[in-house]
Structure 1
Amino acid sequence: MLTSKAIRVCALSDLEDQTPFAVEVGDLPIVLVRDGNEVHALRDQCSHAQVPLSEGKIVREGIECWLHGACFDLRTGTPTSPPAVEPVAVYTVRVEGDDVFVDPGTTSH
């Protein structure tokens, strides 16, 4: 559920399917990933090496960090492969028409 703090971060048409897209909400780095009609939002920082996940790629297991290959589930932020063992925060997303909103106040982790 979105709170009143949801922020428009981009247009849906800005997002290419299965391609990480970096945005910032204030000083919070967020990576968006469009998966068909769904959009996922995660903290744009690998929990293992603190590098931007938006510089990685989308693989079957989720989003893969470019530095050491740790992967994170797009829905839960849970690591799906080592070396990461800590999850990354996942934020609530809402799409209205061509507008993508992220609520930085709601996280799964």
Structure 2
Amino acid sequence: MSEWTDVAAETDFLPGSRCQLDVDGVAMVVFNVDGHFYAIEDLCSHEAETLSNGQLCGLEITCPAHAARFSLVNGAALSPPAYEPIPVFPVRIENGRVQVRDNRFD
């Protein structure tokens, strides 16, 4: 079972912000959307571009390379040219810290 990894203090992770990190070799980005936290793999399923610099609109992130949109909630590809989903990861608040983990191999 994978371990939880600290991202930031909840009080320092303001709504509308995002944080990139590496968890055991996996590039992730965590978003604070109106006080709710979402974590995705920082890699577009269309052309392996990073998503962390994409435009955030509600609960969707747009790939800055080719404008594919993805759901932060379930990773679904919402528009071409992407058709495959992206991985999403569990996020929790523990002792005032935002934490994430890669649970794909649990």
Which TM-score bucket, shorter chain as reference?
0.7 to 0.9
Q: How many residues were matched structurally?
A: 105
| Root mean square deviation of aligned Cα | 1.9
Say if 1:41 and 1:102, in contact at 8 Å, map to a contact too.
yes
| Structure 2: distance between partners of 1:92 and 1:106 | 10
Say if 2:33 and 2:58, in contact at 8 Å, map to a contact too.
no
* 1:44 partner letter: D
Deviation at 1:106, TM superposition (A): 4.4
SS in 2 for 1:79: coil
Deviation at 1:71, TM superposition (A): 0.7
Deviations 1:57-94 (A, max 9, x none): 10246011000000100100001111100000000000
Deviations 1:21-79 (A, max 9, x none): 21111211001110112100000000001111001110246011000000100100001
Comparing 24-33 with 92-101, greater Cα deviation is found at: 92-101
| Structure 2: distance between partners of 1:86 and 1:78 | 7
| Structure 1: distance between partners of 2:94 and 2:9 | 9
Q: Percent identity?
A: 31
Q: Which residue of 2 aligns with 1:37?
A: 35
Structure 1 stretches lacking a partner, 5+ long: none
**TM-score of the superposed pair, with normalisation by structure 2:** 0.86
SS in 2 for 1:80: coil
CA, structure 1 residues 80+18, in 2 after alignment: closer, same or farther (shift >3 Å)? farther
**TM-score of the superposed pair, with normalisation by structure 1:** 0.84
Comparing 32-41 with 8-17, greater Cα deviation is found at: 8-17
